[in-house]
Structure 1
Amino acid sequence: MDTSQYLDVFIDESTEHVEDLYNYLLELEKNPTETNLIEEIFRAAHTLKGMSATMGFQDVANLTHKLENVFDGIRYERIKIDATIMDVIFQAVDNLNAMIEDIAAGGDGKGDVSTIVANLEKIENGEVVTKENDAAATVEGTVETDTTTSNLDEFELSILEESRDRGFHNYEVTVQLREDCLLKGARVFMVFEVLEKLGEVIKSTPPVTDLEEENFDYSFTVLFVSQSSKEEIQKSIEKVSEIEHVTINLFSVEAYKQQLIDQEEQSSVLTFEEKKEKTEDKSDKAPKAKSKKPTSKTIRVNIERLDILMNLFEELVIDRGRLEQIASELNNNDLQETVERMTRVSGDLQNIILTMRMVPIDQVFNRFPRMIRQLARDLQKEVDIEIIGAETELDRTVIDEIGDPLVHLIRNAIDHGIETPDVRKQKGKPTQGTIKLQAYHSGNHVFIEISDDGAGINKEKVLKKALENGVITESTANNLTNQQIYELIMESGFSTADSVSDISGRGVGLDVVKNTIESLGGNITINAEENQGSIFSVQLPLTLSIMSVLLVELSDETYAIPLSSIIETAIIQKSQIMHAHNKKVIDFRGNIVPLTFLNEVFETEQTIADQDYISVVIVRKGDKMTALVVDSFIGQQEVVLKSLGNYLSNTFAISGATILGDGQVALIIDSNVLVK
């Protein structure tokens, strides 16, 4: 039987079942006697086994069958769950996930899972699983795990891309120690010391902890970012004694990306749920058990079709604006009534299309619990995660971009924020730390907050490091508010970590987070209290395609300012302008707000020189404000954001353009970069 026509459906449903397995296992770890969870896991494994056997992916079916046997033993109390058993089960699901990703990438889903199968059989037979057998098997068809580049996540790739764009070189450095080397850990430390003087270490294989404990043979590999040449790096490393040879190669992000095809991009489908009961399948698939979530039928739509639909509607919005202007100029009642009705109908259509593109942020959040579990174990910390508002929806384009910054913020919270159990006990805190991930709507924005009850942020340490790195001067440091001090950690190259680790402390990261969020039209703020915890708050627009703007005039040209960043518009007398720190400022409701003359920013002719009054638009970024000086206000309008293309991608203070009703092109001002 030809099953190729069902491959996309198999990949999508298998991915959902694996995701369910991860979530159920995380819950089971907290409540090992919860019979409902055990039943759900057993049924998910049974369904996945049947699907993969039908499609001919025998290795997936075999591994799932062993997993099913273990949970059959657990539900009939022949097997008692402990930490070692949970580790083996998680590794089994990791292997299943890797095999399904391989199938999605065009592979055959085969893998050498003999080790994990042997461990599952030992559990099934009541034997003890030792640490030697506790390693996950490598899946054939995926990238090999004996190099640094095998397990790079998307955020680490974005760091490498950012470094490359800033003129740095990305290197893969492999160091081979001599076999008569006695103090391998000391040699590794000396090599890292050399590298840190020349650049930043992004990743190491084996991990830093294994290198420090000498849990490796005689070679190790690091991904390294530097402006130095290969020859300079090689000579510096070779000065360390007991080194056999050093191999340095340029690391290509593009070449690496070609090897990895993201699971979500491969499926290229979006699921729309209709609240209908799913009929029981009488085939090999077992019926779904009763659960808290209602079952649903799904319609899978290729995301490219939604993008095309959105582009066509954007053209309709432009033509709608043109019709509104023509109707206003002709002053024909019938035409105006028709255009008004068209405006209402197209507004409803716009809401439906935008809703279709909305996906719950749970698609991003659902990978964090297992990531936190693994990081906490690696760092020997106890960490729980609390997720609130996972059903909050965002435009798919925003969802695609926000995952990696959130990953880094959570890593940062675990590594820098949450203390070890001993330290927490000394401080009178529970030994288990908590990371709270919360999402909610507010107006036309979505807010995502990552908070922890850890060590908070040491202001003195941040200030000291900022002064050492030349990020601020002594005079500036004395005038900073607490929040401004906290936000220094998002400056480029800033890190307060005492040592480089695989998780954070490289000085490359939070600045990329900030840049990514601001490129989406959002912003990030930080609040913290030492020994109480910290809160990173991310504000994002609901959608990036259609926005409400204020049209303003500047030297006979029309510009657009997004309403989301505007606090107020005002007309003020020139006599109200004051001077502070060699800048022109105004008093806005008790706050000193600097003036930004847009004619100077965009180098246009000044037309307000002889006027007694000036028009200003007060805009905000976080808790900072500025007043943009314009010639006049035109009015509010809904516009379509259009990219300026590759040739004009770096235009200062311009985020894009739009086409107005009269066919004129108006540039959209990026007010974020104008707020100092």
Structure 2
Amino acid sequence: MALDTDDEILQDFLVEAEEILEGLNEQLVELENSPQDADLLNSIFRGFHTIKGGAGFLSLEAMVNLCHKSEDLFNLLRQGERFVDADMMDTFLKVLDILNTMFAEIKSGQYPSPADNEIIEQLSVYINNDSAVAAPEPEPEVAPEEQVEEVAPSQGSESASAAADDEITDDEFEALLDQLHGNSAPGIKDTEKASTPAPTPTPTSTGSDDITEEEFEALLDELQGAKKAQAEPPAPTPSVPKPASPPASDKAAETKASAPKPVEKAPTAAEKVEAKAAPAKQAADTSVRVDTSRLDEIMNMVGELVLVRNRISTLESAFENEEMAKAVNNLRVVTGDLQTAVMKTRMQPIKKVFGRFPRVVRDIARSLKKDIDLELRGEETDLDKNLVEALADPLVHLVRNAVDHGIEMPDVREAAGKPRQGKVVLSAAQEGDHILLTIADDGAGMNPETLRRKAVEKGMMDEDTAGRLTESECFSLIFSPGFSMKQEISDISGRGVGMDVVKTSISKLNGVIDIQSEVGVGTTLSIKVPLTLAIMPTLMVMLGEQIFAFPLVNVNEIFHLDLSKTNVVDGQQTIMVRNKALPLFYLSKWLTKGRTDGKKPEIEHVVIVNVGTQRVGFVVDVLLGQEEVVIKPLGALLQGTHGFAGATITGDGRIALILDFPELMKVHANRGY
């Protein structure tokens, strides 16, 4: 039997459960470092409790059972009856993995598969170690007959004080909900039944979870009475009331106790539930869930508006009219604000990606027997939703590489005068119209000479070519396919795959990578990607009669070239830029038929572009300037053409092709011109 994935209640549960599971991933790793943090323990307990409640409402029994066991164990942890250790944390993380698998099954419309008996039994071992399962909130330890004798007077004597003590704790509230829904741990229910006074109404065993308001209030009064009994010793009361006329005060107390409802009473259970739910309701009313496809449609329409704005701005020069100029400027402002507002609706904090790394680093460090501290910075930095998803896998590769290759073993670090604990810093920050991501470690660093020697050993280049590589080019060798500095192969890294995939993935996002490393100090890897992939700032150039667009994030600098200052190295024309030799290519020979007149000017326009970790010079005919463009897919006739990321419409209505530099270099660079 499949689940109805269109059910609104199920969709609400999936949204809430996904947020909770993401939070648990971070909280569990944090708990290992702060096992006595009461707030953290309570937060994790509530996370399992909330998922269990939602899953129970939807009859997802497999998820309910696993969350229930985890909740029981965390109840013991927060009461101080158990303590977290590394093995217990391994079990918790396995539980989280199973819950994520169950969540994926539910999302696909299937009922979740039951958890392995091994994990359930392991949780039971932790729960039942040395003592029985502890209830979420233990009742006062009194004999049943004493409790019966005290119930009647306590209901009357404490009704006035109940009005003052009208608050219950979150733990008491959750325990009460468990009683109402029959979700208490095995063994708790029977104990409660044995100690429950006869006059107190209890839910009937009709198979329904619904109870009346009177029954709910009675249970709430019982819970508050138990709380009061724990705080103050009960006053001695006679076992049998005397028939003689009691004092006036006693008569008033008896009258008050026998009254169906006191005039002054604590808020009802419904009112307390309403009060607790109010903040959540208010928060829910401020947001609306919108399908991402609808946001994409709006973004496309804004893109068309940007093209119209560019077109009108170009035509403005033909009208020497002050009012026209004001209208066009107003259009620019409104369009820019609208574009920014729509982009923000697609933005997500990069914390969605960063949240998985504490678990990744913890697991790898534990398997390698390393001690590593991960520091996250700039988690609230926003970027396009599509970029958030696209960056997840490359960042995982880079972080794993930093932990495995970068950080040394504790003994090695200690011998080198470093702290035994290594450090990895993952940070994000917005810089203008792009996002800067850095992965830094304080490990062994990379030795350029070692990289040169490895490249020669693998037959990637000869010794002369390797000797001419700059430090930056040496560091870039780690992105070459099959290149690895790891001597032994493991399931973490060292197979020569992964880093080349990272470079390809970042390049597809119009991003660039830079590496800085120092032996014995550490390595810093920087990634620069645009804020969004939908609207792109570009540099417009001309080659012959055709306009082309350079993604501005790839452009490093522009200058005019004196042709007499070029050199040829290994058959490749190069130019010297700040004492560094850069390869030089004529784009007109790649993308057009070249110059029709056969003449070459003495001065050329050269655009220095970052292609991955390499800088390359491209000669162009005319520089037109910067322009924001909307990327459109190539038409059917150009599908499969290498070197182009898409097309756009310029301000004067012409078609411009947007260049994909990594692909362009891959196809044409080996031609030597």
Equivalent runs, 1:427-576 vs 2, <5 Å: 427-572=416-561, 574=563
Summarize the Cα distance change of 1:483–1:618 in structure 2 as closer, same or farther, 3 Å threshold. closer
CA distance in 1: counterparts of 2:441 and 2:622, whole angstroms: 46
Aligned residue number for residue 202 of structure 2: none
Summarize the Cα distance change of 1:99–1:670 in structure 2 as closer, same or farther, 3 Å threshold. closer
Conserved? CA contact 1:578–1:585, under 8 Å: yes
Aligned residue number for residue 388 of structure 1: 377
CA distance in 2: counterparts of 1:281 and 1:538, whole angstroms: 51
Summarize the Cα distance change of 1:121–1:283 in structure 2 as closer, same or farther, 3 Å threshold. farther
Summarize the Cα distance change of 1:603–1:554 in structure 2 as closer, same or farther, 3 Å threshold. closer
SS state at 1:299 partner = coil
TM-aligned CA deviation for residue 381 of structure 1: 2.0
Aligned match of 1:379 in 365, 368, 392? 368
Aligned match of 1:32 in 35, 40, 53? 35
Aligned match of 1:615 in 605, 608, 621? 605
- Of Structure 1 and Structure 2, which has the larger fraction of its residues in strand? 1
Equivalent runs, 1:73-222 vs 2, <5 Å: 73-126=76-129
TM-aligned CA deviation for residue 345 of structure 1: 0.7
TM-aligned CA deviation for residue 654 of structure 1: 2.8
CA distance in 1: counterparts of 2:612 and 2:491, whole angstroms: 31
Summarize the Cα distance change of 1:656–1:31 in structure 2 as closer, same or farther, 3 Å threshold. same
2:478 partner letter = I
TM-aligned CA deviation for residue 463 of structure 1: 2.3
CA distance in 1: counterparts of 2:546 and 2:63, whole angstroms: 62
TM-aligned CA deviation for residue 302 of structure 1: 0.8
Aligned residue number for residue 145 of structure 2: none
1:667 partner letter = L
C-alpha distance after superposition, 1:251-306 (max 9, x if no partner): xxxxxxxxxxxxxxxxxxxxxxxxxxxxx9938998999xxxx9995422111111
C-alpha distance after superposition, 1:323-355 (max 9, x if no partner): 233333344554443333222111110011111
CA distance in 2: counterparts of 1:533 and 1:610, whole angstroms: 47
CA distance in 2: counterparts of 1:281 and 1:634, whole angstroms: 67
Conserved? CA contact 1:659–1:665, under 8 Å: yes
1:282 partner letter = V
Aligned residue number for residue 658 of structure 1: 648
Summarize the Cα distance change of 1:577–1:528 in structure 2 as closer, same or farther, 3 Å threshold. closer
Structure 2 unmatched runs, 5+ = 132-270
Conserved? CA contact 2:510–2:554, under 8 Å: no
Aligned match of 2:399 in 406, 410, 425? 410
Aligned residue number for residue 193 of structure 2: none
TM-aligned CA deviation for residue 364 of structure 1: 0.7
Aligned residue number for residue 162 of structure 1: none
Conserved? CA contact 1:569–1:615, under 8 Å: yes
Aligned match of 1:282 in 268, 273, 276? 273
Conserved? CA contact 2:428–2:437, under 8 Å: yes
Q: Bigger radius of gyration, 1 or 2?
A: 2
SS state at 2:469 partner = coil
Aligned residue number for residue 309 of structure 1: 298
CA distance in 1: counterparts of 2:557 and 2:647, whole angstroms: 23
C-alpha distance after superposition, 1:426-460 (max 9, x if no partner): 33332222211111122222111112222222444
2:55 partner letter = S
Summarize the Cα distance change of 1:281–1:417 in structure 2 as closer, same or farther, 3 Å threshold. farther
C-alpha distance after superposition, 1:210-248 (max 9, x if no partner): xxxxxxxxxxxxxxxxxxxxxxxxxxxxxxxxxxxxxxx
Summarize the Cα distance change of 1:437–1:646 in structure 2 as closer, same or farther, 3 Å threshold. farther
Aligned match of 2:326 in 337, 352, 358? 337
Summarize the Cα distance change of 1:357–1:340 in structure 2 as closer, same or farther, 3 Å threshold. same
2:363 partner letter = Q
TM-aligned CA deviation for residue 587 of structure 1: 5.3
2:124 partner letter = E
Summarize the Cα distance change of 1:534–1:617 in structure 2 as closer, same or farther, 3 Å threshold. closer
CA distance in 2: counterparts of 1:425 and 1:388, whole angstroms: 27
SS state at 1:493 partner = coil
- Of Structure 1 and Structure 2, which has the larger fraction of its residues in helix? 2
Aligned pairs, number: 521
Summarize the Cα distance change of 1:503–1:76 in structure 2 as closer, same or farther, 3 Å threshold. same
Summarize the Cα distance change of 1:664–1:114 in structure 2 as closer, same or farther, 3 Å threshold. same
Aligned match of 2:387 in 398, 403, 416? 398
1:119 partner letter = Q
**Within the alignment, does 1:71 sit opposite 2:74 as a pair?**
yes
C-alpha distance after superposition, 1:539-592 (max 9, x if no partner): 111111112222222211112222333344444555555666655555556655
Aligned match of 1:638 in 628, 632, 645? 628
Conserved? CA contact 2:606–2:619, under 8 Å: yes
CA distance in 1: counterparts of 2:21 and 2:291, whole angstroms: 22
TM-aligned CA deviation for residue 646 of structure 1: 7.4
C-alpha distance after superposition, 1:441-496 (max 9, x if no partner): 22222111112222222444422221122112111111112222121111011122
Summarize the Cα distance change of 1:610–1:429 in structure 2 as closer, same or farther, 3 Å threshold. closer
CA distance in 1: counterparts of 2:54 and 2:428, whole angstroms: 35
SS state at 1:282 partner = helix
Conserved? CA contact 2:511–2:554, under 8 Å: no
The share of aligned pairs that are identical, in percent, is 39
2:105 partner letter = D
Summarize the Cα distance change of 1:587–1:368 in structure 2 as closer, same or farther, 3 Å threshold. closer
Summarize the Cα distance change of 1:554–1:72 in structure 2 as closer, same or farther, 3 Å threshold. same
Conserved? CA contact 2:373–2:421, under 8 Å: yes
1:512 partner letter = V
Conserved? CA contact 2:62–2:113, under 8 Å: yes
1:52 partner letter = A
SS state at 1:300 partner = coil
Aligned residue number for residue 11 of structure 1: 14
TM-aligned CA deviation for residue 613 of structure 1: 3.6
CA distance in 2: counterparts of 1:661 and 1:483, whole angstroms: 39
Conserved? CA contact 2:445–2:522, under 8 Å: yes
Summarize the Cα distance change of 1:438–1:27 in structure 2 as closer, same or farther, 3 Å threshold. same
1:634 partner letter = L
2:392 partner letter = G
Aligned match of 1:43 in 15, 34, 46? 46
SS state at 1:33 partner = coil
SS state at 1:301 partner = coil
